[in-house]
Amino acid sequence: MTSRLSAITLNTFREAVRDRVLYNLVLFVLLLVACAPLFGQISIGLERLILVNVGLSSMSLFGVIIAIFVGIGLVSKEIEKKTLYTILARPVRRWEFIVGKYFGLLLTLIVNTGLMTVGFYIALIITAHQLTRADALLLVAIYFIVLQFMVMVALTLLFSSFSTPIFSAIFAFALFVIGTFAEDLKNFAALAHGATKWLASAAAYLVPNLASLNVISQIAHEHGVSGSLVLMNTIYAVFYSAAATAAAVLIFERRNLK
């Protein structure tokens, strides 16, 4: 089982590289490093703040775009090319296929994020000419971005397990936008009454709470993040992505592929 999962995971990663998904980081790194000296000309004391906000937000956006637009084709491409039938004809179970695809795309995003992190720190050095202890806090924000990718990859796979690529992209992007404002949705539910309150509360807990995984502004102002928040966000992302992946497996197990 482990060898089959590893094979699907690595094959998915290689396919993503062949599709030139990772080449977006080249553009990201080059633009960030090239523009780094310009941040120092904006205003004294604001160059780091702007660079952190722009850099981490770009890293998050690039990753989500990859998660959605690559994830929607992980299942449909295999069906269109009829390679899925060859894979399933071997001793490979459907759940192994879905889980392997999940880890393969997640591995792609982690590698992507790691390389962009290197470019981001190079830009920081060019701008500030040094790294401080506060810059280590940036790794927490980047870790939360990876947790965000875990959730988005699982949701994209869930939609692609039963829907077309176009609708999968629409559903995934809609949940990303709603999840970004999950805290506002909870506040609205607290103020609402009757059926609206119940519907808003249910929606607030069903959609991914991506707002709690966004600490970019907090980190940019050099405010620390508590260990309890790191632990709670990790548990939340793991369980939410596991639940979404399990739902994708259940749907795909019952899907008629003929």
57: CB partners within 8 A, 6+ apart: 216
Q: Which domain holds residue 121?
A: 2-253
Instruction: Give me the tens of pLDDT residue by residue for the chain, a chain 258 residues long.
Output: 677 788 888 888 887 777 666 666 667 666 766 676 666 566 555 777 778 888 888 888 888 888 888 888 887 777 777 777 677 767 778 888 888 999 999 998 998 888 888 888 888 887 777 777 778 889 999 999 999 999 999 999 999 888 888 888 899 999 898 888 877 777 766 777 777 778 877 777 788 888 889 888 888 887 888 889 999 999 999 999 999 999 999 988 887 766
As a whole number of angstroms, the distance between CA 125 and CA 135 comes to: 10
Q: Answer for the pair 236, 209: CB distance below 8 angstroms, yes or no.
A: yes
On whether residue 105 sits in a domain, the answer given is yes
On whether residue 258 sits in a domain, the answer given is no
* Helix/strand/coil (H/E/C) assignment for every residue in the chain: CHHHHHHHHHHHHHHHHHCCHHHHHHHHHHHHHHHHHHHCCCCCCCHHHHHHHHHHHHHHHHHHHHHHHHHCHHHHHHHHCCHHHHHHHCCCCHHHHHHHHHHHHHHHHHHHHHHHHHHHHHHHHHHHCCCCHHHHHHHHHHHHHHHHHHHHHHHHHHHHCCCCHHHHHHHHHHHHHHHHCHHHHHHHHHHCCHHHHHHHHHHHHHCCCHHHHCCHHHHHCCCCCCHHHHHHHHHHHHHHHHHHHHHHHHHHHCCCCC
On whether residue 42 sits in a domain, the answer given is yes
On whether residue 221 sits in a domain, the answer given is yes
Please give the pLDDT value at position 22.
Answer: 60
The number of folded domains in the chain is 1
Q: Answer for the pair 57, 169: CB distance below 8 angstroms, yes or no.
A: no
The tokens for 107 are 């591995």
As a whole number of angstroms, the distance between CA 253 and CA 175 comes to: 24
1: CB partners within 8 A, 6+ apart: 96
